[in-house]
Amino acid sequence: MSTLTVAPRPLTTRPASARKPSGPSTVRPGLSVRHVAGVRPAACLVSVSEPTWQLTRRGLVVVMAFLAALMGSAVVTCLVAFLSVSNSPL
């Protein structure tokens, strides 16, 4: 049999507080910075392939009807504006 040795995971250190000091001086007297040691997980991001929202057939019909009405009113507005211009000379 063979012997397998596994190296320990490296520890990552991060500040205990994510707050950054504000004001003119960046160093505050009397504060000691503590570091918290933590083990970084092997996989921290999980991809999810779900859509953010879905429309039912009825919802799709409502949205399409709204868009059609919006486009129709835009066409009518453009036609009325075009036809309201007089042909007589100034």
The per-residue pLDDT for range 17-76, each reduced to its tens digit, is: 656 656 555 555 555 556 666 665 666 666 667 767 788 999 999 999 999 999 999 999
* Boundaries of domain holding 69: 55-85
The reply to whether 66 falls in a domain is yes
User: Domain count of the chain?
Assistant: 1
Beta bridge partners of 13: 37
The reply to whether 65 falls in a domain is yes
The reply to whether 31 falls in a domain is no
Residue with tokens 């910075």: 33
- Alpha carbons 33 and 16: distance in angstroms, whole number: 8
- Alpha carbons 65 and 59: distance in angstroms, whole number: 10
The reply to whether 12 falls in a domain is no
Q: Is 32 helix (H, G, I), strand (E, B) or coil?
A: coil
The DSSP H or E segment spanning 60 is helix 57-83
The reply to whether 78 falls in a domain is yes
pLDDT at residue number 54: 83
- Alpha carbons 90 and 85: distance in angstroms, whole number: 12
Q: How confident is the model at residue 80 (pLDDT cuts 50, 70, 90)?
A: very high
